[in-house]
Structure 1
Amino acid sequence: MLQAILVAHGAPADPDPQEAAMAALANRVAASLPGWQIRGATLAAPDALEGAVAALPDALIYPFFMAEGWFTKTNLPKRLNACGGGGMRQLRPFGADPALPDLMITVAGRAAQEAGIAPDRAALLLAAHGSQVSRSSAEMTEALAGLMRERAGFARVVMGFVEEAPFLQDAARGLGPAICLPLFALSAGHVTGDVPEALAEAEFAPEGVLLPPIGAAAGVPALIAAALARSVSS
């Protein structure tokens, strides 16, 4: 039986809600992949990754992260090595999936339609993490923004970050009608606190619409299932 472990960062201060979210996501992915055993785990929950590796020793590792960075390149492999999963195959992260731009276009377009916003007269604001020490989050966001400018049909596509310039509160100011799509995998602290606080400071509402993070979109389980299926067929 094929096996996979979906791994996210989680929330160290309160790991249980994100651990439950990853378990639920694993169940939804498994519903699209008969014959697979799939578990979710976060790095933040004590012994969660270790328990998943012990239960599924032949699993593929799917990083539910938005970018390649220290966690996917260094921390996760180190943790896997330490618990006997050093030989496991690690796939590209969620944020690097080639199907993600199409999902973003669908989510943003549907939100604009539901809000009565004409995309060709509105802005799409991509809210992302950013970093003062690594370019990986910004580079991922810049690449996705470029694709959105080409294909999404919005008048403007702009970026704003929580932890580096252009900061989200500055990017969101004065946009007029807009859709804000947070480029985060889980609804943790940045999504529930930093993003809405930055938009409030920028007076983004009432013309702007804040969406749930892209990792919570309805199409995500199918996207992950497709990535896992491709990994074994190739």
Structure 2
Amino acid sequence: MRRHARAVRAQGLFDEVLEGSWKEEPSLRQLLRLARFRDVTVVPLFVSEGYFTGTVIPRELGFEWRGPVPPGGLTAVIDGHRVHYTRPYGVHPDMAEVIAARAAEVCGEWDPARTALVVLGHGTGRDRQSQQAIEQAAAALRGRGRFAEVQALYLDQAPRVDDWAALTRAPDVVIVPFFASEGWHTQDTIPHDLGLTGAVTEFPELPGGPRRVFYSRPVGTHPAVTRVIVRLVEDSLDAPLSPEEPAWRAAGAALLRASSGEAGLAVGELQVTPLPDGRCDLRSQVDAGRTDLTTVALSDLSAWTGRTADGTHRPIRTQRSLPRGWWAEVETSELRAALHAVYPAVLEEAYAWENGTLPVIPWTDTAERQSGLYAAVRRASPAQVAQARHKTCASCLRTPLWAGEPLSATFLTGDPQALPCPEACTLLVAAVREELGSHQETPAQGEVTHV
């Protein structure tokens, strides 16, 4: 997700490129609060349509829509923003060429008469819609005569990839995973279950004769996907763009004022110190005065602070686990981006709280909004919610306003530990569900929950 966002950002086509996730920060619920402009286009980084693209993401963004997204996407006015929501990139017609490009990386100049292509999807019995993108891409490539045969096969439904030798006839077979990213399936289970030993595997003793299998990287990590994302955005911009959000600029000005004093600004576990040359020094507060720190560029700051000292992933950045041993020096104009890289959305939420415009969503409303397997949290008792909150929130710097805890100031007005939390996060929702003893909700079709 971040790699595609950087590539889109580098093209300079848009004034702002944001990233959001369902179970990480910044969350989908925070996205509009972060937006500088009132016109926002959201592209789900999914390889297919399904429950998440048709229900979860629209719901979390504030759309009333539920179900398959129309070909032209959705548009609604939400919290003063005009929001455009597109279909996932995996259903775009250009993805057929991305599959062919992945095949070319491992197979080179193949003989169309002797080469079969397998487009490999995850598959699910829960949503027929999830396999349509794979079927459409396979059909498009099948009609171009570039392969002797093109098959759409799956991990968890028929026709299964385990049967590739019986379902294809060509001596050379190229398998391209139609997955959004590298992961457990593409790197471990698929090669192991199929007996693949690398990019090319020889099978000299199959019933139909010797065969070669070429195994590519997943389609979602190919650089050409960036062009597909841009196309989706450009196709959705059919009206004059809306102006800048005044509160966005005002929040940035408040940050500069708060950090301009000689002592700088403390935010959670982070210390921001103004330098004589007009730049700012950022580091963990416990590293004050150290000169043996690793220099981290602004572009790497989010990834660097996204893990603890022992390498554990930090989906909620405001937990008391900010890694030590680094420092970043940024221009004053970059301070907001740097703070966002360390603590996403805390500036916008603190500014809104200071000005009485931050909506606080009580737990009952958050629970009522859940669907699918997470709808079970609606019946959680106050004791179960409290137990889940203790496990999830005890190490978080944020003050849970949604639970009724008071907050008289924020880090913008002198209290570095005062970070407002207006709504229970998805990790807490998952923790409440665990307290109920239910099974975890899992994405269909190998989806990843990024936009």
Fold agreement, TM-score > 0.5: yes
Q: Of the candidates 201, 208, 232, which is equivalent to residue 213 of structure 2?
A: 208
Q: Of the candidates 71, 96, 104, which is equivalent to residue 99 of structure 2?
A: 104
Q: Distance in 2 between matches of 1:74 and 1:85?
A: 22
Aligned CA RMSD, in angstroms, stands at 2.9
Match of 2:51 in 1: 70
Shift of 1:137: 2.4
After superposition, the Cα gap between the structure-2 partners of 1:172 and 1:72, relative to the gap in structure 1 and judged at 3 Å, is: farther
After superposition, the Cα gap between the structure-2 partners of 1:198 and 1:87, relative to the gap in structure 1 and judged at 3 Å, is: farther
Is this contact kept in 1: 2:40–2:82, CA < 8 A? no
Match of 2:143 in 1: 150
Is this contact kept in 2: 1:32–1:225, CA < 8 A? no
Q: Of the candidates 110, 113, 121, which is equivalent to residue 114 of structure 2?
A: 121
Q: Distance in 2 between matches of 1:152 and 1:84?
A: 49
TM-score by length of 1: 0.78
Give the partner amino acid of 2:184. G
The range that moved more, 44-53 or 56-65, is: 44-53
Give the partner amino acid of 1:231. S
Structure 1, unmatched stretches of 5+, are 1-21
After superposition, the Cα gap between the structure-2 partners of 1:87 and 1:76, relative to the gap in structure 1 and judged at 3 Å, is: farther
The range that moved more, 33-42 or 167-176, is: 167-176
- What are the residue-to-residue correspondences of 1:1-234 with 2, within 5 Å? 22-45=1-24, 47-56=26-35, 58-81=39-62, 88-113=83-108, 117-151=110-144, 153-172=146-165, 175=168, 176-200=171-195, 205-206=201-202, 207-233=212-238
Runs of 4+ in 1 over 4 A off after TM superposition: 82-87, 172-175
TM-score by length of 2: 0.42
Structure with greater helix share of residues: 1
- Count of residue correspondences: 211
Is this contact kept in 2: 1:27–1:39, CA < 8 A? no
Shift of 1:69: 1.1
Three-state SS of the structure 1 residue aligned to 2:158 is coil
Is this contact kept in 2: 1:109–1:152, CA < 8 A? no
Is this contact kept in 2: 1:128–1:137, CA < 8 A? no
Structure 2, unmatched stretches of 5+, are 64-77, 203-211, 240-451
Q: Distance in 2 between matches of 1:44 and 1:173?
A: 40
Give the partner amino acid of 1:26. A
Three-state SS of the structure 2 residue aligned to 1:191 is helix
Shift of 1:228: 1.2
Q: Distance in 1 between matches of 2:114 and 2:136?
A: 22
Q: Percent identity?
A: 24
